[in-house]
Amino acid sequence: MTYASAHPVALRVQDVDFSYGQLQVLFGISLQVYEGEALALLGTNGAGKSTLLRVIAGLEKASGGAVDYFGADITGVPAERLAAQRLLLVVGGRGVFTDMTVDENLEMQALTAKMAKSHLKERRQVVYDTFPSLAIRRRQKAGTLSGGEQQQLAVAKALLLDPKVLCIDELSLGLAPIVVAQLLQVVRRIHATGVTLVVVEQSLNIAAELCDRAVFLEKGQVRFEGPTQELLARDDIARAVFLGSAPPAQRQNAT
């Protein structure tokens, strides 16, 4: 029995198009993410990875196609409603309120989701158990935290809402390798609790550490879908990531 046949589909993206004004960014994207798995979204700069996450999470509206979440059509459903359904996105660039304390950031997240105070207390304890360094700094303003701690807080805010599906955009962006390694450990622990992950990454190696399966995008289209280890073995795709683009013949081979 394959992983796919043993698990229900958590997310189904079907023929999704997206444009910023006259500029089309996504061209008929289709993919599936199974409950409990970790999927990497990889690709060159400008390939549409982050845009696709924003469409899935309700921050952008597709111009064509559909997105299903555990069998329900969520195309065009706004992000705040999806968050209440436990579909969460950690945006790139450490999405925290820098002038608020760690505690206040969590309280603001709870307010956005209309979380009951009793539930907030319970979930906040889960967050601080997961991120002990944030518990120590709970009354410290987020803007005074290190870059790694701010990224921890961004993940913690999503964790507070008890996600079923957690989308993470550029976990490692701008962070030192030792900090990235610490974050990877935490995300692995979150995944081990049964949370489904969709991770946008520039680094093939980081994606391989987290995810067994990968989708590679180039110029808004899916060029590869399969095991991450198989993707690592593809010199043409690795060159596209590290050099920004692949020669035309190799692009053809990557379809």
CATH code at 1-86+165-177+197-255 = 3.40.50.300
For the chain, the domains span: 1-86+165-177+197-255, 89-162
Q: Which band of pLDDT confidence, cut at 50, 70 and 90, is reported for residue 250?
A: very low
Alpha carbons 138 and 180: distance in angstroms, whole number: 21
pLDDT at 21 over 80: yes
Bridging pattern class, strands 213-218 and 196-200: unpaired
User: Who has greater pLDDT, 174 or 226?
Assistant: 226
Question: Does the pLDDT of residue 242 top 60, yes or no?
Answer: no
Positive or negative torsion for Cα 45, 229, 57, 125: negative
6 has a pLDDT exceeding 70: yes
- Tell me the residue type at 168: I
- ∠ CA 62-65-66, rounded to 5°: 85
Strands 9-20 and 64-69: antiparallel
Least confident residue range of 46-55, 102-111, 164-173, 198-207: 198-207
The backbone torsions φ and ψ at residue 27, rounded to the nearest 5 degrees and listed phi first, read -125, 95
Q: How confident is the model over 41-99, as pLDDT tens digits?
A: 998 888 999 999 999 999 999 999 999 999 999 999 999 999 999 999 999 766 899 99
For range 27-42, the mean pLDDT = 97
Q: For residue 120, is pLDDT > 60? A: yes
Side chain identity at residue 56, one-letter code: I
pLDDT higher for 2 or 208?
208
Q: What pLDDT does residue 240 have?
A: 66
pLDDT confidence of residue 204: 85
State pLDDT tens for residues 122-137.
Answer: 999 999 999 999 999 9
Q: Is 253 a residue whose pLDDT tops 70?
A: no
Amino acid at 78: P
Question: pTM surpassing 0.85?
Answer: yes
Tokens of 135: 């518990």
